[in-house]
Structure 1
Amino acid sequence: MKGFNQINIQALRLYVAVLDQGNFSEVARREAMSPSTVSRVISQLEQALQTQLLYRNTRAVSPTESGKLLAEHARQVLAQLDLAALDLQEQDSEPGGLIRINAPVVFGQRHLAPWLHELNARYPRLNIELMQTDDFIDPLQDSVDLLIRIGVMTDSTLQARTLGQQNFRLAASPDYLARFGTPVTPDDLLNHSCLVFKGFAGSQRWYFREKDRDWRSWNLRGALTSNNAETLAQAAIDAMGLVVFPTWLIGDALRDGRLVSVLEDYQVSTSPEPQTISALYPNSRRPSIKVRAVIDFLVEKFGSPAYWER
């Protein structure tokens, strides 16, 4: 422990630089030092740690096993210090400039658009470009800073921060249930009009399960299929049938009684895998201050659990 107390940050930076360059001379040139000074710093580091860190020869240097271990930890320490320095520099900085955001159409209308004026008031130097589409977007190819995406998250090339869970309800209008009866089990849905979303992957399947049991899927049909969620939700409100939709879409209609939740003893979904509402950004060590500011703002406004779940 005493040896570690004698190590300074500059020595660690020089040590990592020597490993990256493979010799003392190039590091000395870049740091405006003599090669003998660089060599002496590394020797002092070895003395402090009481272990050999480098194999030296006339052409190059290479790390010993102890040297490799130190390098691994040194890189982590230096990276954290760099982040801390950046945080301190940005502490009094105000997010500004253009931020390109892409979001699903309906979610953007329901849960982003109502907050834009407040986001603008908080960060007046921020210029927001919000594009709403349900198509696949490659943030690198399409120069997008922040993606809002809903569903099963599988893309490991992007960093993600969860904004909320996507929870589903099976619902129908009181008028529909009064006319055609209330289903008691998922099998009863075969005798009902089920309003199913149909996208590029085909008609959505509905999954149900009782507590602690496996998911089962049903292919159902009814008076209407559509690739527009709001159209189907309105059709359900107008007593055309039942829908399975997330609470962020039909939460208001459930709260004010235009729709009624059905089969509440069952969990319902459109996939057996957990689905989230997430903020995604290109995989890098650190998102920009403007991206962090927008994500933090949305986390604050959505709440936990999200306000549409309450």
Structure 2
Amino acid sequence: MNDVDAVSLRALRLFVAVLDEGSFSEVARRTGVAPSSVSRVIQQLEQQLHTQLLYRNTRALAPTEAGLAFSHYARRMLEQADEAARTLQEREQLPGGLVRINAPVVFGQRHLAPWLASLAERYPKLTVELTQTDDYVDPLHTAADLLIRIGVLNDSSMHARPLARLRYRLAASPAYLAQFGTPRTPEDLHAHRCLVFKGSSGPQRWFFRPRHSEQPWQAYSLRGPLTGNNAETLTQAALDGLGLVLFPSWLIGEALHQGRLVRLLPEYQASITLEPSTLAALYPRSRLPSRNVRAVVDFLVEKLGTPPYWDR
């Protein structure tokens, strides 16, 4: 073990405190030790690091250039040590207090709201503040402890706990198929009524490729009697026989299980993006998840299951 390995957290705390207070005597008064003891700890720290950390005179203390640089590392190490200690302490406690969750509107209605009572029963001291929005939310500045997001994971500032991989299903109602027939290939869709979601970047394209294949995706720009920016409205239109929809199974899985919608082109993979889409729980990388966040995420993983219940 070299000298640097032996640097103690106590020495780091006293060093940072001296920088903040600018005085050995003030730090001694606050910590209940003799000023000479504080001075001796700092001297030992300088000897271990083989560098002078402080300029000393009769009126004040000031950090050297090396001391100022070392202070940044010291503060970071103390923050990490404190956070680790809090995490270990929290593991011994039951979740309690406020946890703020942000989730998409429809997913929150379908797959979070039904479990809130069970979550409250398991953790009676936990208070949930659930905000549902489909608008973009800046995860580093929003007042949320946990974000539930659906889509391509590409934000390196966030830690992601995947909850489920999104699987898209092409579907139509039995009434529609009885009237207009069943498409057999993606090319047949040009002759069908396609109900297309239109977001801020325009109408979504639909992508298909043979199932169990790594062939390139083929893109299709399709049209029909209804284009809209609300997935629930388009789903209802499909249930009423207006046309075909391509939506994730978490949205239309129940209707498929009940036979109100029929899955089409099952021998093809379907998607609305060329990159894999995921349902995930997010929190900033700069923070360790609190016991409340861990409890909620573990609860969701348990309730959704693998594969998620809407894909079984």
Deviation of residue 178 (structure 1)? 5.0
CA distance in 2, matches of 1:46, 1:171: 71
C-alpha change, 1:44 and 1:299, in structure 2 (3 Å) is same
- Structure 1 residue 307 displacement after superposition: 2.1
Residue 152 of structure 1 and its aligned partner are, at CA, apart by 2.7
Per mean C-alpha deviation after superposition, the further-off stretch among 177-186 and 266-275 is 177-186
1:128 to 1:6, Cα distance in 2 relative to 1, 3 A: closer
Residue 214 of structure 2 corresponds to which residue in structure 1?
Answer: 212
CA shift at 1:293, angstroms?
Answer: 2.4
**1:276 equivalent in structure 2:** 278
Partner of 1:241: 243
User: 1:156 Cα shift?
Assistant: 5.1
Q: Matched residue of 1:54: which SS?
A: coil
Q: Secondary structure at the match of 2:246?
A: strand
Answer yes or no: is the 8 Å Cα contact 1:153–1:275 preserved in 2.
Answer: yes
Find the counterpart in structure 2 of residue 54 from structure 1.
52
Cα distance in 1 between the residues matched to 2:64 and 2:265 = 67
Which residue matches 2:193? 193
For residue 164 of structure 1, give the secondary structure of its aligned residue in structure 2: strand
Q: Are the equivalent residues in 1 in contact too, given 2:91–2:291 (CA < 8 A)? A: no
2:265 is matched with 263
Distance 1:217 1:261 in 2: 19
CA pair 128-55 structure 1, distance change in 2 beyond 3 A? closer
Change (3 A) 1:305 1:16: farther
Alignment of 1:143-222 (within 5 A): 143-155=143-155, 158-177=158-177, 179-210=179-210, 211-222=213-224
Q: Separation in 2 of the partners of 1:198 and 1:6?
A: 61
Question: Which amino acid counterpart does residue 11 of structure 1 have in structure 2?
Answer: A
Contact 1:102 1:132 in 2 (8 A): yes
CA deviation after TM superposition for structure 1 residue 37, in Å: 3.0
Q: Give unpaired runs (5+ residues) of structure 1.
A: none
Q: 1:52 to 1:81 in 2, by over 3 A?
A: same
Distance in 1, matches of 2:127 and 2:46, equals 52
Percent of matched pairs sharing the same residue:
57
User: Cα 1:35–1:52, aligned 2, differ >3 Å: closer, same or farther?
Assistant: farther
Q: Residue 102 of structure 2 contacts residue 146 of structure 2 at CA under 8 Å; is this kept in 1? A: yes
Do the aligned partners of 1:22 and 1:61 also contact (CA within 8 Å) in 2? no
* 1:54-104 Cα shifts (integer Å, max 9, x gaps): 355446443659x968974x6665444323321343244333334443322
Once the two structures are TM-superposed, the CA of residue 209 in structure 1 deviates from its matched residue by 3.6
Which amino acid in the other structure matches residue 281 of structure 2? A
Separation of aligned partners in 1, 2:309 and 2:70: 48
State the one-letter code of the partner of 2:202.
G
Output the amino acid matched with 1:272.
Answer: L
Q: Is the 8 A contact 1:24 1:35 kept in 2?
A: no
Is 1:297 aligned with 2:299?
Answer: yes
**Alignment counterpart, residue 250 of structure 1, candidates 246, 249, 252:** 252
TM-score (norm 2): 0.78
Shift in CA distance, 31/214, structure 1 to aligned 2, threshold 3 Å: farther
The answer to whether the Cα contact below 8 Å between 2:196 and 2:226 also exists between their aligned partners in 1 is: yes
Q: Distance in 1 between matches of 2:164 and 2:184?
A: 29
Kindly tell me the number of residue pairs found equivalent between the two proteins.
Answer: 305
1:126 deviates by 2.6
Which residue pairs with 1:96 in the alignment?
96
For structure 2, which runs of at least 5 residues remain unmatched after alignment? Answer: none
Across the aligned residues of Structure 1 and Structure 2, the Cα RMSD in angstroms comes to 3.6
Asked whether the equivalents of residues 161 and 278 of structure 1 are also in contact (C-alpha less than 8 Å), the reply is yes
Change in Cα spacing, 1:64 to 1:194, as seen in structure 2 (3 Å) is: same
Q: Indicate if the aligned counterparts of 1:52 and 1:64 stay in contact, CA closer than 8 A.
A: no
Give the 3 Å change call, closer, same or farther, for CA 135–91 of structure 1 in structure 2.
Answer: same
Inter-partner Cα distance in structure 1 for 2:10 and 2:21: 18
The answer on whether the counterparts of 1:104 and 1:134 sit within 8 Å (CA) in structure 2 is yes
Could you tell me whether the CA contact under 8 Å between 1:104 and 1:132 is conserved in 2? yes
Larger displacement relative to structure 2 (29-38 or 226-235): 29-38
Q: 1:228 to 1:2 in 2, by over 3 A?
A: closer
